[in-house]
Amino acid sequence: MRNLSAVTEFILLGIPHTEGLETMLFVLFLGFYIFTLMGNLLILLAIVSSPRLHTPMYFFLCQLSVCDIFFPSVSSPKMLFYLSGNSRLISYAGCVSQLFFYHFLGCTECFLYTVMAYDRFVAICDPLRYTVIMSHRACAILAVGTSFFGCIQATFLTVLTFQLPYCGPNEVDYFFCDIPVMLKLACADTSALEMVGFVSVGLMPLSCFLLILTSYSRIVCSILQIRSAEGRRHAFSTCSAHLTAILLFYMPVVLIYLRPTPSPWLDATVQILNNLVTPMLNPLIYSLRNKEVKSSLRKVLHHLGFFPEQL
């Protein structure tokens, strides 16, 4: 990557139209961040400590929890740092790192949701061959593949953004370095790159979403063929958490990156939900309706001294 820029650091202006609310936002976002880390760490401990949960579905849920720990950590520490009254400066390299890791983890999650949909498809539509198809080797390949292709996509978007010269204004009108706000600061015509970025950012999630839609169309058809009401209820319950998480993931992507006319305040609000609230909610979504996860969580909390064993 070639740095043609005279700019060596940027100033993060923060969330638009929130002047004077820094203390309240600091407390609110710090709470979200702590609950996100704690919730996902508990899910990891619950799955790792319970042999019954050592299955492909929970293996991918572990990977999702790891992503949900690191994803908000890309932008939240710096945001909390300047909300507490410290410097808003971020180095050029720091800005590049923020953009790369944000899209690397975001793309990895996007691919991971697709893999999790495929896992549910095999479990419900071809249960007799499930252990053969979703072998340890296949799960490892799929897990590595999500990170590998996420890295390729993020590298492409990062190079696309920072191969431009940044030689003038250095005030980022946002709370972290992301593609739309960085392109506004470039000292060059960005119209062609904006179109390439729009297609790239839109095409990957759309492809994943279509694959997820295909998997769940087949799943619904298979569930409707189950004769017992209890069987249908159990099959739907194993998929409902995943569908809820998918909706929470894709709605912000559409609102932020695929709208023709961006709105800084709306984008920042949706991005906060995407960065902090969704990773915080995922542990609740995947545990509230899952008896095995709840049972394992009780044991973990009991060993940590929070609850008596009978609760």
Residue 77, pLDDT > 70, answer: yes
Task: Give me the percent of the chain exceeding a pLDDT of 70.
Answer: 91
The residue segments making up the domain with residue 56 are 9-253+262-304
Q: Does residue 42 lie within any of the structural domains?
A: yes
Label residue 261 by pLDDT band (50, 70, 90). low
The answer, yes or no, to whether residue 4 has pLDDT greater than 50, is no
The amino acid occupying position 103 is H
We report the CATH number of the domain holding residue 58 as: 1.20.1070.10
pLDDT digit string, tens, across residues 10-22: 999 888 888 888 8
Determine, yes or no, domain membership for 24. yes
**Domain-located, residue 4:** no
> Quick check: is 208 in a domain?
yes
Q: Which residues of 86-98 are buried (b: 16+ CB within 10 A; e: fewer)?
A: eebebebebbbeb
Determine the Cα–Cα distance for residues 271 and 265; give it in Å rounded to an integer.
Answer: 10
The residues facing 91 across adjacent strands are 9
pTM above 0.85, yes or no: yes
> What is the structure's pLDDT at 293?
79
224 assigned to some structural domain: yes
Residue 34 forms part of a structural domain: yes
Residue-averaged pLDDT of the chain: 85
Tokens 């759309």 correspond to what residue?
Answer: 206
3-class DSSP state of 169: coil
pLDDT, mean of residues 146-165 = 92
Q: Quick check: helix, strand or coil at residue 287?
A: helix
The confidence band for 1, taking pLDDT boundaries of 50, 70 and 90, is: very low
pLDDT tens-digit series, residues 173-183: 888 998 888 98
* Per-residue confidence (pLDDT) for residue 311, from 0 to 100: 41
Total domains, the chain:
1
What mean pLDDT comes out for the span 101-119? 94
Residue 309 forms part of a structural domain: no
* Pairing relationship of beta strands 9-12 and 171-172 according to DSSP bridges: parallel
